[in-house]
Every structure is written in C-alpha cells, then in structure tokens.
Amino acid sequence: MRLAGRTAIVTGGAAGIGRAIAQRFAREGAHVVVADIADDESPAREGGDTVGVIEAAGGRASFVRADVTRIEDVEALFAAAAAISGRIDAVVSNAGVFRGAPILDTPPEAWDADMDLNLRSHYMVNRRAIAAMVGQDDNGGVRGRIINMTSQLGVTAPPDHLTYAVAKAGVAQLTRQLAVDYARQGILVNAVGPGRIITGHHPGEAEYLRDGTVDAATAYSLARTPFPRLGRPEDVAGAALFLASDDCTFVSGHLLMVDGGWTAY
C-alpha cells in the first residue's frame, strides 16, 4: 500500500496505459480520480469501466468526464479531486493520441490540433497541478508529484510523425523546466517515456495478442526493441508508481524510459 491515503489524478484513465496506472495506484491505496474524454462506461472498453473495475477490487476511484484540451474541464477536474481529501498528492498527465504525418502533409490546422492535445493540454494540467500543490502542506519534504507521459518518440525521431515527436519532446522539456522552477516548493516533476506498449485496441494489436500475428508496425517495433517483447500497460504503471510514491524523494526532472531498451539501441 505505497499510496495509502493519497489522492491521485490520472488523465486518459479510461483506457490503455492510463487505465493500468489508475488500477495500480488504487491497488496501492490511493483514491484515483480517473479523467477522460471518453465515457468511462463505454461497453467498447474491454473489462468494463476503470472505476467499476477498481471498486470491484475493493479500491477507491471517481470518474470525471474531462477534455484536457479545455481549460474549464481541467479546472472542474482539479476542483473535484481537491474535494476528496483537500489535497492532490500525484497527477499523471497521460492523455494523448499517437498521430502525425510528414511536414508536407501537416497543414497548420493539423499542427495546431495535434499540439493542442499532445503538448498544450500537458501545460494546462501541469499548471493547475502546480497551483494546487504549492498551497498544500509538505509530506516528508514533498508537496506533490507530477508524472508526465512522454514517449521514446520524444527522444528519437520516428518516421513520418512530426507533430507527435515534437510534442513529446516538448513534454520532456516541460517536465525538466517545471522540475527546476518548483523544486524549492517541494514539487517533484518527472516523465515516463514508454516504448511500444500493446494496449490491445490499436490496429493490429488484437491479432498480435490473440495469436502472435505481426503486422508491419508491430514488426518495426519488435525490431527496435532489444528486450524480446513489446511493452504492457502494467510495465508503465510500475514506473509511474515509483515516481508517485515515497520511494521517489530526490528524483526530479527525470525521463524514466520504459522501452525495453529502444532508446539505448
């Protein structure tokens, strides 16, 4: 129970990596505020809604429908989270979408839409998180912990995914900047950089999980990953847990790659 009594927000928590983080944090005793643009109870979400799964396992969670690109939704999300225990211990800014094209196929409106979600929303969530955390009591010298979701593709340049790569590199730099600017206020700001993580609902992934069928994208990812498998959402959840827990006391501005060695290769 490494997060007993803590309140944590996970954006994009209705599916994929965010869902695994929400479940793991709840198992460790946190009350998790799951925020997502998608209806958390959508039957398309295999295994049921995140909050329902957490509660069925004896954990505590709430769902807030929020589009993290909308400032009023971000405000409402933080107000709902603050109402639970009066403080927000950890914020995982995870919501994002893998989208991009070469520059000649990226008109300004596509650039703006992609940056809106994959970079600007992180600025808004982090800004609101810092505002909440600077005003709360410190706990063993730490007032709060922020974990941002970047990617191995924010450190390396993937073919033909301009906006994604630039946005994820921006999230990494946002992380370093805020870690420096708010260190004296006791706020630890770190990022997780997943490699290729199989969430099961992107093209080709269901087949890969079912019978090992490897499409071109999966073959590329396998070839780039020295560890002999692709990642699982739980791999990322374990890293996020470390960064949200009391074991993380002097780590800040760090990018923790969870990529099976992709960026080392």
Residue 95 binds ligand NAD, judged by CB under 6 A: yes
Residue with tokens 């890293």: 239
Binding residues with ligand NAD: total (CB under 6 A): 26
Q: Please identify, using beta-carbon distances, which residue of 117 and 143 lies nearer to ligand NAD.
A: 117
Q: Please identify, using beta-carbon distances, which residue of 147 and 187 lies nearer to ligand NAD.
A: 147
Neighbours of 107 (CB within 10 A): 11
Q: Which of 29, 5, 10, 172 is nearest to 90 (CA)?
A: 10
Residues in the chain: 265
Neighbours of 113 (CB within 10 A): 15
Residue with tokens 């309140």: 7
Neighbours of 242 (CB within 10 A): 15
Residue at shortest CB range from ligand NAD: 16
Least CB distance to ligand NAD at residue 107 (A): 21
Q: Please identify, using beta-carbon distances, which residue of 37 and 222 lies nearer to ligand NAD.
A: 37
In sequence order, what are the residues at sequence separation of 6 or more whose Cβ sits closer than 8 angstroms to the Cβ of residue 173?
none
Residue 263 binds ligand NAD, judged by CB under 6 A: no
**Do the Cβ atoms of 22 and 61 come closer than 8 Å?**
yes
Residue 17 binds ligand NAD, judged by CB under 6 A: yes
Q: Please identify, using beta-carbon distances, which residue of 55 and 116 lies nearer to ligand NAD.
A: 116
Q: Which of 3, 10, 14, 54 binds ligand NAD (CB under 6 A)?
A: 14
Q: What are phi and psi of 21, to 5 degrees?
A: -65, -45
Q: Which of 57, 98, 134, 219 binds ligand NAD (CB under 6 A)?
A: 98
182 is catalytic: no
In the chain, DSSP assigns E strands to 7-11, 31-36, 60-65, 90-93, 144-149, 187-194, 255-258
Residue 114 binds ligand NAD, judged by CB under 6 A: no
Which residues inside 179-238 make contact with ligand NAD, applying CB under 6 A? 194, 196-197, 199
Least CB distance to ligand NAD at residue 199 (A): 4
Which residues inside 26-45 make contact with ligand NAD, applying CB under 6 A? 36-38
Least CB distance to ligand NAD at residue 135 (A): 25
Q: Which of 12, 170, 186, 260 binds ligand NAD (CB under 6 A)?
A: 12
Neighbouring-strand partners of residue 193: 257
Paired tokens of 45: 């979400």
How many degrees, rounded to 5, is the angle at CA 13 between CA 11 and CA 18? 95
Q: What are phi and psi of 258, to 5 degrees?
A: -125, 70
Binding site for ligand NAD (CB under 6 A): 11-12, 14-18, 36-38, 66-69, 94-98, 117, 149, 151, 194, 196-197, 199
Active site residues: 164
